[in-house]
Amino acid sequence: MSEVVTFSWGRDEASWSIVIHGGAGAVPVEARARHAEGCKLAAIGGGAILRDGGSALDAAQRAVEILEDDPVFNAGTGAALNTSGEIELDAAVMEGALRAGAVCALPPFTNPIKIARAVLAEGSHILYAGPGAEAFAQAHGFVRTTSEAMTTDAARARFLTMQGTNQSSEGWAGGTVGAVARDSSGHVAAATSTGGTFMKRPGRVGDTPILGAGTYADDEAGACSNTGHGEAVMKLCLAKTAIEWLRQDMHPEDAARAAIALLARRANGVGGIILVDRRGRLGLARTTETMSFAAMSSRDTEPSCGS
């Protein structure tokens, strides 16, 4: 079984808190500081909203937007390419009052998390796929772009390298982004965004936009964002599993460790998880070589970050 690595911010409660991940994976040593810095900026952006008394939902969304705009992450600009060399995006937001919005197999749009938020705000449905997601986005004023405009040199180079190797859905990208937050009113929220796995087949959807798999939030328990082998995460409804442990008052550090151990043991999957509980306590665990992260709470003057 892969070793479970955790990080601790102390086990105390906080009136507001946010933790961010920049994807489970294997970031090369020389790039790790850059990934951690990206997460730190996202924590600063989300943390500023919480410090000003804003909502967990706004904070989690803002943090993910910042990471979607950062080309080193596999979300928004810089997303992984599928076997056709195209970008298809998955994203979800959920708040603790059980309102949610998500999009999957979305063609290129700069900030899928904003479209997921618009789905939540509009309220008719929770998850739109492919052409339906595109139609929803356009009807709400979002402008479609092109895969070329959102593809970084690094993503293109990786696509060209992998094209010859016949790897498909096993070509796991890393670099998915997510944030979970608790605000000073006691509400929680989660947001996750990804380009999915490298060389996924067109139409493949991972765990990220599936409530209870990659993303979940419940004010009576806490909030969760996952990253890693989407197929394995979905088999275990991993976010909801971890949230049920928080509901029973397991500390998020212990729940994160248990969830990621379960992923390895039962589904032979590797990945990472971030959690916040209804008291603002944080948890993080991974079985991958790296998972960049940053966190900040009402007790801190600046975020702590790492990879």
Interface residue list for ligand ASP (CB under 6 A): 23-24, 173-174, 176, 194, 196-197, 206-208, 214, 227-228, 230
CB of 73 or CB of 245, closer to ligand ASP:
73
| Cβ density class 19-32: b for 16+ within 10 Å, e for less | bbbbbbbebeeeee
Catalytic residue among 110, 176, 227, 288: 176
Q: Find the shortest distance in angstroms from Cβ 230 to ligand ASP.
A: 2
Answer for the pair 196, 206: CB distance below 8 angstroms, yes or no. yes
> Nearer to ligand ASP by C-beta: 61 or 208?
208
Tokens 């944080």 correspond to what residue? 282
Give whole-number Cα distances, 234 to 49, 87, 181, 211, 215, in Å: 31, 21, 22, 10, 11
**Dihedral sign of CA atoms 37, 39, 45, 47 in order:** negative
Give the C-alpha separation, 49 to 43, whole Å: 10
Whole-number minimum distance, CB 22 to ligand ASP, in Å?
10
The verdict on whether 176 is a catalytic residue reads yes
Closer to ligand ASP at the Cβ: 151 or 208?
208
Comparing CA positions, the residue from 171, 155, 303 lying closest to residue 230 is 171
Q: Which is nearer to ligand ASP, 111 or 226 (CB)?
A: 226
In angstroms, give the least distance from the CB of 290 to ligand ASP: 12
Least distance from ligand ASP to the Cβ atom of residue 203, Å: 13
Catalytic residues: 176
